[in-house]
Amino acid sequence: MEHDEVAKQLLAIASQLEALASQLAESIDTEAAFPVSMWAKVDQGICLICDEPILPIEKSMRGAHNRCYKQMRDKINEKKTTDEKQVKLGRLLPGKKGGRKPSKTALKVESLIREDAAQYEETKAAPKKSAKKSPPG
């Protein structure tokens, strides 16, 4: 077989794989489409529901204050909204569904995220001499 021919076939396979990957991503998205843009808030430790910072002493659930999450939970329980809808709106981080075992890949990603978070906490914990940032607004 000519080298060109091999290269062409490889490219064809690569584009097929890309198509499959995007299909897979879409199917995952429909399950829990948390907006990518909202991760910035999560990174900054800002409550997704009330937009106030979540202080280190405060408990948080799925990217929101515990109290905010509980209020949201009540609304969901009263069928005023749905969990999925709030995830799509970026007001709740995707929750873990019971009974479904995470894949090895998911576990690996989660452990990487945890390592990342631990490093982030370390850098945050490092003493800073600069003045505190005042909240925007």
CB nearer Zn ion, residue 70 or residue 96:
70
Please state, in angstroms and as integers, the Cα–Cα distance from residue 64 to each residue in 24, 30, 104, following that order. 28, 22, 27
Report in angstroms how near the CB of residue 35 gets to Zn ion at its nearest: 18
Report in angstroms how near the CB of residue 42 gets to Zn ion at its nearest: 13
Instruction: State the residue number with the nearest CB to Zn ion.
Output: 47
Cα distance between residue 117 and residue 131, in whole Å:
24
CB nearer Zn ion, residue 20 or residue 51:
51
- 112-116-68 Cα angle (round to 5): 105
Report in angstroms how near the CB of residue 41 gets to Zn ion at its nearest: 11
Cα distance between residue 122 and residue 118, in whole Å:
6
Q: Which tokens go with 114?
A: 């945890």
DSSP 93: P
Report in angstroms how near the CB of residue 71 gets to Zn ion at its nearest: 9
Location of structure tokens 């209020």 = 71
CB nearer Zn ion, residue 49 or residue 93:
49
Instruction: Write out the residues near Zn ion by the rule CB under 5 A.
Output: 47, 49-50, 65, 68
CB nearer Zn ion, residue 32 or residue 61:
61
